Amino acid sequence: MRIRQGEFERIRSVLDDVDVDEPMTAREILSLLDEHGEEFESAHRVATVLGRHAQTGEVEVIRDQPYRYRCTDQGN
């Protein structure tokens, strides 16, 4: 039986696997997730999950247009 990871853990796992160096948009992250078999309903959902974790310092939000996201090492 496989234990299902939370949404943030799934996003972070894929980003760690591909060793992303630059901040990415939610749409770019959604494409990476799709390529790695992780299903999310929309880029908006990805942004929502990452935005919540920005409040705890686990994600940096670069408020350009469009917003870009980078996971931090905090919380590991």
Note whether residue 58 is domain-resident: yes
pLDDT mean over 27-48:
96
**Signed CA dihedral, 68, 73, 7, 16: sign only:** positive
Q: How many separate domains does the chain show?
A: 1
Note whether residue 1 is domain-resident: no
pLDDT mean over 7-13:
95
> What per-residue confidence (pLDDT) applies to 74?
53
Q: Whole-model pTM above 0.85?
A: yes
Note whether residue 57 is domain-resident: yes
Note whether residue 52 is domain-resident: yes
Q: How far apart are alpha carbons 68 and 29 in whole angstroms?
A: 10
Domain extent for 52: 7-71
CB 69 within 8 A of CB 59: yes
Note whether residue 2 is domain-resident: no
Q: How far apart are alpha carbons 76 and 66 in whole angstroms?
A: 27
- Domain holding 25: CATH number? 1.10.10
- Beta strands, E only, the chain: 59-62, 68-71
* Confidence bin at 19 (pLDDT 50/70/90): confident
pLDDT single digits (tens) 47-63: 999 999 999 999 999 99
Q: How far apart are alpha carbons 45 and 23 in whole angstroms?
A: 17
Note whether residue 76 is domain-resident: no
